[in-house]
Amino acid sequence: MACILALCFSLPLWDWMRFCWHSEFYSYMPLMPVITGYLIWLRRGELGADFRPSWATAAAAAAAGGAILAFYFLALNDGWIPARQDYLCVMMLAFLLLLLAAGFASLGAATMSAAAFPLALLLFMVPYPERVNAGLENFFQYTSAAAAHSFFSLAWTHCVQNGLILKLPDDISLKVAPECSGIRSTQVLLITSLMAGNLFLRSPWRRAWLALFVVPLAIVRNGFRIFVIGELCVHVSRDMIHSWIHHQGGPVFFALSLIPFFLFLMWLRKSEPKPQSTVKPGEKT
C-alpha cells in the first residue's frame, strides 16, 4: 500500500526531494525516514504480533488527508497561487496522513501505537508554510540581536541596538540578517532534543522541558556568535566580518551549544525518580 501511495505522490515527492537538495534550511528532511526506520528497528521487540487492522482510525486519517487535498484543489480553482513551500507543505502533510491510514489498515493499532514516536518524527518532512518560516526567522533575528546586545553590555563594549542593527565603536555596524537567525541549527537541535528525551527520559514533563530548553539555548548561542564576531571586528580587524568564523563558523557554535544541552539532559535524567522494583521482599533477584 505504501508503494502504491508513493507512486501516486511521485511528482510531489520528486519536487520535495529537489526542494530539500537546494535548501540550506530543509536539507535535513530526507534523513527523517532513515531516523524513523532506525528507531522502529530499535523498538522491534515492542511491536508485537497483533496486526489486526484498525479500520476506524485508518478511515479518519484517510479522511483528513483527503480533506487537505480537496481544500487545496478548491483553493486553486478560486485563484490561489501557492508558493512552492506552501504547495509542498500541503502535499507532504496529505501524503503522511494517507501513509498513516495505510499503516493502521495493514499493521493495526497496536503496532502503530508502539511505533508512535518514530512515526511522529516524520512530521519534520513537512516544510513550514512560507509565512510561518518567515515568522520564525524574524523571531530568532530579533531575540538574537537582543541577546548579543546583552553580551556586549556585560563585556563593557559600547553597543547601540536599533532593531536588527547593532552599532559598535569605530563606526562598526552589524545587521542580523535572516541567514544569521540560526533557525536551521535550532531545528536540528530540536529534533535532537526530542530523540534524546525519548531515549533517555521517562517523564513526559522532563521530555517537554528538554525540548523547550532548545529555544533559549538557541537564542543565547546565536547572540554569543554575533557578540564574538563583533568583538573581533572591534579589537582585531573590521575585516573579521568576512572571516570564516562568520561564514563557516556555525558548526563550532552549534557544538558549543551541545555542552549545556547535554548537561541539562544529564540533570533531568538524574532528577527522575528511580523505577520501583517489582521484586517482592524476601524474593531472590
pTM over 0.75: yes
Under 8 Å between Cβ of 13 and 6: yes
Q: What is the pLDDT of residues 96-110, one digit of tens each?
A: 999 999 999 888 888
Residues of the chain with pLDDT below 50 are 285
Cell readout for 70 is 480537496
Long-range contacts from 114-117, C-beta under 8 angstroms, 24+ separation: 114/43, 114/46, 114/47, 114/48, 115/39, 115/40, 115/43, 115/47, 117/39, 117/198
pLDDT score for 280: 52
pLDDT of residue 263: 96
User: What pLDDT does residue 84 have?
Assistant: 92
Helix (H, G, I), strand (E, B) or coil at 79: coil
Of the candidates 166, 164, 146, 143, the one whose C-alpha atom is nearest the C-alpha of residue 215 is 143
Q: What is the maximum span of the chain, computed from C-alpha positions, in angstroms?
A: 77
The 3-state DSSP class for residue 72 equals helix
Cell of 155: 563585556
pLDDT given for residue 6 in this prediction? 83
